[in-house]
Amino acid sequence: MVSDNLTEAFSIEGAETGLKLALSCCEIFMKNKAVSSAGDMSGVVFMRTGTSSSADFSGIYTVQNLNFVDAPRILEIRKLRQMSSEKFAEVYGSLPAEESFPVHEALWACQTMFSKVSFSLGYKRIWLFTDDHNPVGNKAQLQRQAILKAVDLRQSGIELEVLPVSREREFFCMETFYGQLLHDEPDVDSLPTNLTQRIADLLSHGSSLEPSRRRASRLPFFLVPSTAQALTTEGEPSHALAFGVSIYCLVRPAVRPRPVRLFAPANELVTVKRRYYKVCNDAHPHRGVCTDPENIVLPQDLVKGLRAGSRTVYFENAELSGRSRQFVAVGIHLLGFKPLKRLKPWYHLRAAQFVYPDEGLAKGSTLWFTTLLSVCLRRQIFAIALYVQRRGMPPRLVALVPQAEKLNENRSQIVSSGFHLVHLPYQEDVRQLTLPKSAPDLVANPRLQRHYAELEALALELPSPKEVPDHTLPNFQQIKERAGKEIEAFAALLHRHASFEGQLSSSLAKKVAHSPSTLAAAELRNDSPGSSEAIDCIPHR
């Protein structure tokens, strides 16, 4: 949401007015979201305008309704940013600066946009760009309504964040009005008024790829299986002492998005459906298959087999699904404990997962989980368990490393309590490597950067992107400064050695070619007794 008071001159680099700066932030944020979180939605609303997009809200103009980010919406924001101040005032208008404005109606308009979405949203946030620290003036009624609406937003799960745009030679006082709207926020006292820092914080929300925030699976955690039946496929968690846990993936590799099929005239996604039909014995092989509904083959009627000699061996669906190989029940099976000092850093075979209690699978899971976690933390031990994530997968030996909860200065949780599920390697997986310390998350993937730069240029009709810097390449300048002379000497030595080998090979070839004892290939292939005696006359290298 952007205040239309921002059309006055602004002194930040590259922005003529605060409004254009806010629109620039919207454009960059939408471009980042198109790459990092394609499933997120965004909308843009102007307040304090002379015209209104709806008769229900006066002085409020909805530029873009809440929808998924795409290239046309980004281009629309760019056109608004490039619009002159005179043209903008002609199209949207502006209220006088001294006139009070009902901020609660602008917040209500944004809340209405969220309520019109037909599916549930993971999180809802409103960013308010404004340079007026007291938009309601001296009207206490408007101030009370704005505070009540801010409370309503928090109860609805909508986060409100104010981004102050300070005018030149003016100080933006947050506590005059907006501090009362955000009094429940923990970081209001430390909220900086530095425009550059606040805008950088806004843009950092979409600068990295954000995976979907959902659990990977829900599994039973078996503490002590009481019977042998509990370890079979038919065994239920009720046959053993078990509680429910959820598995989360904290780290995953960033990959290029998969290509999708589009219908070119309408630019719509193409849905592929595969059906099987019966083919008559007298059907022509090149005339296609008759798509008669009576000849359709249902999935349960399909049988797969393997040709072995003159016979065909058929397999049931249960055999192909891996149930016959399932000798351990799906879940986490506790085996024992070891001291934390026995767990080496190089035992991390793949990306670890995070284990957290789940009351939805079994009541009392949080109590059992917390007890196990507190014992491991107090005794500085980790658990060893068998891990079967889903049916058909072989069991893996894993280590459950405890992690305590951490809070910041404002008593807000920054690290959650739980177990890190570390996949333990086999003996042949452990190798002795000496690697320098580095931060791999600070090195961008050049292939992905180049891919998204080309997509952005194609979607937004921009010129060809510049060469993306590849930070995975070694620092050749530093290598040249430190070992340039040694490398040149080594290269010269290799060059002389290659020249000597070339001269030796050429002279030897000439000698062999002019030797009278040399036999032709046809003579060597001859089976005569004399051929074996002539072979010894070939010069040896």
The pLDDT averaged over each successive group of 10 residues in the chain (541 residues) is 55 58 86 80 89 84 89 91 87 82 88 86 85 81 87 87 73 76 55 57 57 77 63 49 88 79 86 80 58 75 85 80 67 92 85 89 88 93 91 86 87 86 84 73 81 85 82 84 87 70 52 47 43 38 38
Tokens read off for 145 = 């309504």
Residue 523: per-residue pLDDT: 44
pTM of the model: 0.53
Q: What is the rounded distance in angstroms from the CA atom of residue 228 to the CA atom of residue 240?
A: 9
Residue showing tokens 């957290």: 356
Q: How many residues does the chain have?
A: 541
Architecture per CATH, domain 217-252+328-429, reads as: Beta Barrel (2.40)
Q: Which amino acid is at 301?
A: D
Q: Torsion-angle region of residue 73: left (phi > 0), alpha (psi -120 to 50) or beta?
A: alpha
Residue 282: per-residue pLDDT: 60
**Residue 431 CB contacts under 8 Å (≥ 6 apart), including other chains:** none
**CATH number of the structural domain 2-206:** 3.40.50.410
CB contact at 8 A, 373 and 357: no
Architecture per CATH, domain 262-323, reads as: Irregular (4.10)
CB contact at 8 A, 201 and 223: no
Q: Which amino acid is at 82?
A: Q
Domain boundaries, the chain: 2-206, 217-252+328-429, 262-323
Q: Report which of 433, 415, 248 is spatially closest to residue 344, judged by C-alpha positions.
A: 433
Residue 188: per-residue pLDDT: 44
Beta strands in 155-288 (DSSP E): 158-164, 217-224, 241-249, 262-263, 268-269, 276-277
Residue 199: per-residue pLDDT: 66
Residue 96: per-residue pLDDT: 81
Residue 477: per-residue pLDDT: 86
Residue showing tokens 């659990």: 215
